[in-house]
Amino acid sequence: MKSVADKLGMLLSGLCAIQCALLPILLSVSAVVPGWAHLGHGWVWLTVIGCIALWSFTRGWKQHHDKGVIALFVLGFLSLLVATLLEDRVSILTESALFVLGGSLMVMAHWRNYQLMQCVVAEEKTGA
C-alpha cells in the first residue's frame, strides 16, 4: 500500500509526458480537430499529477526527508506549470518540450521516492 501513490504518480506522469510529446504531432496533421480541443488539457494534468504528488511526497518526506525527491518534484511541477501558463504564447514544440521535461522529472521524483520508501520498509522489517 505504501507505494500505490508513487506507482500511480509514475504512471500518470509518464502518460502525461508521452501524451504531450505525441498530441502536438497528431493535432498538427489532423485538420478535423479544432484548435480549442486541446485548450485546458494542461490544467487537468497539472491538477491530477499535483494532487497525487502531494499525497505521495508528503508521506515519503515523513519517512526519508530526502531533498532530492523534493527538488525533482519542484522542478518537474514548475516545468508543467510554465508549459500550462505559456501554452498559447510559445511554439507547440516548446510547450511539448516543457511538458515532456516536467513529466519526466515527476517520474524521476516518484521513482526516487518509491525506492527510498522501499528502503524504509526494509529497515523497519529488519529492525535496523
Question: CA–CA separation, 12 vs 87, rounded Å?
Answer: 20
| pLDDT number for residue 53 | 87
Decide if pLDDT at 1 tops 50: no
**Considering the entire predicted model, what is its pTM?**
0.73
Rounded to 10°, the helix 4-29/67-85 angle is 30
**Residue 40 CA to its chain's centroid (Å):** 16
**Residue 21 CA to its chain's centroid (Å):** 14
Residue 34 carries which DSSP code?
Answer: -
pLDDT digits (tens, 9 = 90+) for 7-58: 888 888 877 777 767 766 666 655 555 555 555 567 877 888 888 888 888 8
Q: Which one, of 94, 127, 115, 85, lies nearest residue 10 by Cα?
A: 115
What does 39-80 look like in DSSP terms, one character per residue? TTHHHHHHHHHHHHHHHHHHHHHHHH--HHHHHHHHHHHHHH
